[in-house]
Structure 1
Amino acid sequence: MAAFLFLLFLLSEAASDFIVVPVHPGEDAILPCRAADVSIRAVEWTRPDLDPPEYVLFYRDGHLDTTHLHPSYKDRVDLVDRELKDGDVSLILKNVRRQDRGTYECRVASGGFTHTKRAILDSEPIRTIRLQITDSNSGHDNNENSTPVGRYVGLGVGFALLFLTGQLILDRCLFAQYRLC
């Protein structure tokens, strides 16, 4: 039983850190991200598959920095709230294209962030989001290789329930065996 609860805890934690955002081509998408610390000096949105040091969005000291902005995001990205109220650093991606599909990471720097030549923040992402481009007719992802998080959680819970059921059957058999002795 303890193994089941531990597995369920791990799966729920993993699912909470990874969000799938479905959107149709041509629509605007909001990729949600909220920082715990509200004294934010810099916000960075990246895609791991982009060549460094290019990024999707970099915002520091009240201004968008386009120095190393990836060309495909020019004039298509902004923050939901440039004042970063309550730590909201969510990204708006305008006029979504099929090639926008992929994993996005949100990072922030608080308080003592200092300006460097390299804009990319070296911290761990506070949010990872998978942008899923859906077919406007069916509502399904056009990428046949897509693997939504929910599928993994469902499989994990299914295996955990199967394990738990097997453990209960084994326990009953052992109990019955000892009872007959």
Structure 2
Amino acid sequence: MTVFHLILTYFLLESASPLKRTGQTNVTAEPGQNITLPCGSAGDRGVIAVEWRRTDLDSDYVLLYRDQQLDPEHQHPSYQNRVDLQNRPIKDDLSLVLENVTADDGGSYECRIQRGTDREKRSVLRSAPVCTVHLDVALPPPPGNMDGSTDESKDPQSHQHLGLVFPVLTTALIIGGLMWKSHVKSLPVNEADVEEGRL
């Protein structure tokens, strides 16, 4: 077989593949949101199982769908009752729906599929990932600043205390001045100082 035939065969096989492997997709979310981690079309080519896994979790998976139902047997506890497939039964979309996102959900997720009639019961699909999605969970802005900045000079509420500072300071100066004047008047006056013009 020539090099030309090998290259042609490769491109024909790739173009016939219902799932194209693409680069990593990035998704950003805030805690509390419901989000979808996208994964391309599976076509209708005998997909019998879908597994979503986070790359930094050991043996537990995020979601395993097989035998036309979710399999919670080895699902990581933090994802129980918070994940589902975008479409069930599997038709054309393998996207993962993640509800009530938490800061701990951040990381890289991989989707793997199993085709055919292989009924081997295992919790880990050994096929190559069909898609990879990185989830970045951004913390919401701190409360009190309307624009999300941490610069207090932009927050009108941070200047409320200035309205009280001026009257309090003015009152303190007046009282202090009156007390000083009263103190000076109570001092004994020396006649020699008065004659020399010091007082």
Q: Which amino acid aligns with 1:108?
A: I
Structure 1 stretches of 4+ with a deviation exceeding 4 A read none
How far off is 1:37 after superposition?
Answer: 4.4
Once the two structures are superposed, the pairs formed by residues 17-56 of structure 1 within 5 Å of their partners are: 17-38=23-44, 39-52=46-59, 54-56=60-62
CA distance in 2, matches of 1:97, 1:81: 23
Query: Among 74, 77, 93, which residue is 2:98 paired with?
Result: 93
How far off is 1:35 after superposition?
Answer: 4.2
* Percent identity of paired positions between Structure 1 and Structure 2: 45
May I ask how many residue pairs the two structures share in their alignment?
A: 122
Per the alignment, in what secondary structure is the counterpart of residue 72 of structure 1? helix
Residue matched to 1:122: 126
Residue matched to 2:63: 57
Residue matched to 2:77: 71
TM-score normalized with structure 2 length:
0.57
CA distance in 2, matches of 1:109, 1:80: 18
Q: Which amino acid aligns with 1:125?
A: P
TM-score normalized with structure 1 length:
0.63
* Equivalent residues of 2:48, 2:116 under 8 A apart: yes
CA distance in 1, matches of 2:74, 2:101: 20
CA distance in 2, matches of 1:46, 1:121: 10
Q: Which has the higher contact order (CA 8 A, sep 6+)?
A: 1
**1:49-96 residue CA offsets vs partner (Å, 9 max, x unmatched):** 1111x100000021000000000101100111112222x111001000
* Equivalent residues of 2:42, 2:91 under 8 A apart: no
CA distance in 2, matches of 1:59, 1:83: 9
* Equivalent residues of 1:43, 1:58 under 8 A apart: yes
Question: Which consecutive unaligned segments of at least 5 residues does structure 1 have?
Answer: 1-15, 140-181
CA distance in 2, matches of 1:21, 1:77: 16
* Greater Rg over alpha carbons, structure: 2
* Equivalent residues of 1:106, 1:127 under 8 A apart: yes
Aligned-pair Cα RMSD in Å? 1.9
Residue matched to 1:149: none
CA distance in 1, matches of 2:139, 2:69: 35
Query: Among 106, 110, 123, which residue is 2:115 paired with?
Result: 110
**1:9-45 residue CA offsets vs partner (Å, 9 max, x unmatched):** xxxxxxx410001111100110111244422100000
CA distance in 2, matches of 1:34, 1:113: 23
* Equivalent residues of 2:43, 2:91 under 8 A apart: no
How far off is 1:136 after superposition?
Answer: 2.4
* Equivalent residues of 1:42, 1:113 under 8 A apart: no
